Amino acid sequence: MLIIFARALVLYTLVLLVMRIMGKREIGQMQPFEFTIAIVIADLASTPMADTGIPLSHGIIPILGLLLAHLVISYANIKSIKAREFLCGKPSILIYRGRIDEKVLLKERFTINELQERLRGNGITNISDVEYAILETSGQVNVILKPEKQNVTIEDMKLEKEYQGISYDLVIDGVVMRDNLNQIGKDYKWLENQINKFGYRVKDALIVTIDGDNNIFFQEKMNSKKRGKIE
C-alpha cells in the first residue's frame, strides 16, 4: 500500500510539473495538439500508478518524451504559419455580416441549435443582433454585435478617463506579498501603518489590496481582536 502511495505521489508531482511547463491555458482554450498530449499523459500516468508490476520508469520516460514533443510542436506553432494552420486549423466564420453561413456550419458539423446555445452563452438571445460569429480554433465562439447593438464606450462619448492601473494583493491570510510591495514602491513599515489604521495588525489580515487610485481594501480574519486605531 505504501509503495502504491509513493508511486502515485511521484507520478502526480511529475504530471503537475509537466502541465505547468506546458503553459497556463484553460482546458477549453487548449489547441487540439495540446489537448491530445494532456489526455495521453494522464493515461500514461494512471497505468504504472495502479499496477506495481509495471516499472515506474515506463510511465516517467514516455511522459518526459511527450513533454519534449510538446515543446518542439509549440515552437513550430509559434514560428511557422503553415505549421500553425496544420496543428491548430483556422477560425471559421459561422455568421458573416448578419447571415448564417450554412456551408461553414455543415463543414464544422454545427447545428443551428448549437449555434444558438453558444450565442446564449455570450449573453445574446436574438440572433438578428449578431454581425459576426467566429468559431475559434480552441472551440470557443466569439461574437461581434451589429453596430447599433453594441454598448456605448467612453471613447464613443468623447470622454476622457484616467488610467486606473491594476489592483495588487498586499496581504493574503496574514502573509505579506513582498514582491507586490516592491512593485508599488512601498515597504513593510508603510503596510503596517496602513493596517493599523483599521485597528489591526498585519497577521490579523485575511486580505489587503491596493488599487490604481491607492485605495486600500482590508478584511480581518475571523476571531481577530481589534486594537485601537492609529490616527
Cβ proximity of 133 and 95 under 8 Å: yes
In tens, the pLDDT along 59-104 reads 888 888 888 888 888 888 788 878 877 877 888 999 999 999 999 9
Q: Does domain 168-220 have CATH number 3.30.70.100?
A: no
Query: What is the Cα–Cα distance from 94 to 118, expressed in whole angstroms?
Result: 11
Residue extent(s) of CATH 3.30.240.20 domains in the chain = 92-149, 168-220
Query: What is the Cα–Cα distance from 191 to 53, expressed in whole angstroms?
Result: 56
**CATH fold for the domain made of 92-149:** CRO Repressor (3.30.240)
Strand partners of residue 141: 135
> How far apart, in Å, are the Cα atoms of 158 and each of 107, 151, 155, 164?
43, 14, 5, 18
Torsion 149-150-152-158 (CA) sign: negative
Verdict on whether the full-model pTM lies above 0.75? no
Whether the pLDDT of residue 164 is over 70: the answer is no
Closest CA relative to residue 33, chosen from 107, 137, 135: 137
Average pLDDT over residues 1-9: 77
